[in-house]
Amino acid sequence: MKTIAIILASGIGKRFDKSIIKQYQYINGKSVIFLSAIAFKSNPNIEKIIIVINKKHNAIAKKCLSEIDNIDYVYGGSTRQKSVFNALKFINKYKPKYVLIHDSVRPNIKNILINKIINKLKNHDAIIPVISINDALKKTNNSKVIEHMDRTKFSLAQTPQGFNYQQLYKKHKNNLTSDINDDSTLFQNIHYIKGDINNIKITTKNDLIFLEHKMKKEKIYIQISGIGIDIHKFDTLNEAKFLVMGGIKIKHNKSLLGHSDADVVIHALVDSILGTISEGDIGNIFSDKDPKWKNANSEIFLKHAMSLLKKHKCKLLHSDINIICEEPKISPYRDKMKKNIAKLLFVSDKCVSIKATTAENLGFIGRKEGIMAQCITTISKPYNE
Ligand code: ZN
């Protein structure tokens, strides 16, 4: 594996609530630990998530994270360092190149920061995000200011911190008895990047209230793809003037046979949309035994699929269509078809791709007996809705 994220959640912390510790508090209906974990889960550069939990919190942790799959749990040790080391030892079997270590009580972590850290790890062994200090900085002791510091010489460190896995593992192993609370202190050369002022660490109830407002409007979206395929054969008995594909008329001396208008492109597209929301297939919604759909305009099927997509609160992002046939030639109609499909999907032309190929004279397509269309549609879906 290339990159693994370790999320530390085994601390008891200072309780600002009588019973629930910070990582198990809720922000807009989601637990803090869930929000931290889902940020890494939704990043395609992270191959595995390890959550370090306190043995006593086994049940609550797994309940909070039950909606996220592919998580490994590791029990924390008596100190932060032991907890990190337990996780580092555990992931040795995955042979990761990089490891990111994050505090679970920073739930407002964004993918842009995670990606910046991973990118920098290509050239450095230790990367930390930092933010500058805006207030005047004083050294204090016993209710007295003892020194006025130059704040421009200082920064505040955040997590996730990124490391070369082998280096970090070795350094932890050689320093098992020292209780460090910041992994980067084990390194001589640490590079920093600009952190995110909203990636705050929950320390007080006020932080929780601040994040509740900050994260309210931000829904978590995931992308899902669905696949569709359809085949129709040519009507070889009757001379025709055109066939219908992608909702437009294409000049051809053979039309396609089917119960409806036999629009092979729209049918593949409808199935790919239904696939994204696991709503079955075009055949079980619009049965070819039902006389209602005899010679039906396939745009009706597409409209229905789009209304189901809306019901699931999903947004169509892109449809990539392949048409496989020896004839008719698709290229003269490609732009018109693309525009029509984009209109039916309520997206811009850029979100529709139409490609065409032949079967090199092989098989039923090669013998010009019919046309095949394939489609992959990608949608965006609110997580857990
Ligand atoms: Zn069909």
In order along its 385 residues, the chain shows pLDDT tens digits of 799 999 999 887 665 666 678 899 999 889 999 999 999 998 989 999 999 999 999 999 999 999 898 899 999 988 888 999 999 999 999 999 999 999 999 999 999 999 999 999 999 999 999 999 999 999 999 999 999 999 999 999 999 999 999 999 999 999 887 778 889 999 999 999 999 999 999 988 899 999 998 887 667 788 999 999 999 999 999 999 999 999 999 999 999 998 888 999 999 999 999 999 999 998 888 877 888 777 788 999 999 999 999 999 999 999 999 999 999 999 999 999 999 999 999 999 999 999 999 999 999 999 999 999 999 999 999 876 5
> Cα(126)–Cα(100) distance, rounded to whole angstroms?
10
CA of 351 to the centre of ligand 1 (A): 23
Task: Tell me which residue of 317, 310, 258, 300 sits closest to 279, measured CA to CA.
Answer: 310
Amino acid type, 61:
A
Q: Is 70 left (phi over 0), alpha (psi -120 to 50) or beta?
A: left
Q: How far is the CA of 283 from the centre of ligand 1 (A)?
A: 8
Domains of the chain in start order, with CATH, are 3-217 (3.90.550.10), 222-382 (3.30.1330.50)
Amino acid at 285: I
Length of the chain, in residues: 385
Q: Report the C-alpha gap between 327 and 281 in whole angstroms.
A: 27
Considering the entire predicted model, what is its pTM? 0.65
Compute the distance from residue 261 Cα to the ligand 1 centre, in Å: 8
Amino acid at site 197: I
What is the 100 CA–ligand 1 centroid distance (Å)? 48
Cα of 335 from ligand 1 centre, angstroms = 22
The Å distance, Cα 224 to ligand 1 centre, comes to 23
- Distance (Å, whole) CA 224 – CA 381: 7
Q: In angstroms, what is the span from residue 282 Cα to ligand 1's centroid?
A: 8
Task: Give the integer Cα–Cα distance in Å for 180 and 127.
Answer: 17
Ligand 1 centroid vs 265 CA: distance in angstroms? 8
The rounded distance, in Å, linking the Cα atoms of 99 and 96 is 7
Token duo for residue 365:
């397509």
- Whether residue 187 contacts residue 125, with contact meaning beta carbons closer than 8 Å, is answered with yes
Note the pLDDT tens digit of each residue in 285-342.
887 788 877 778 899 999 999 999 999 999 999 999 999 999 999 999 999 999 999 9
Spacing, Cα 380 to ligand 1 middle (Å): 26
Q: pLDDT tens digits for 12-37?
A: 766 566 667 889 999 988 999 999 99
- What pLDDT does 366 receive? 96
Pair 284, 241: CB distance under 8 Å: no
Residue 3, beta-bridge partner list? 98
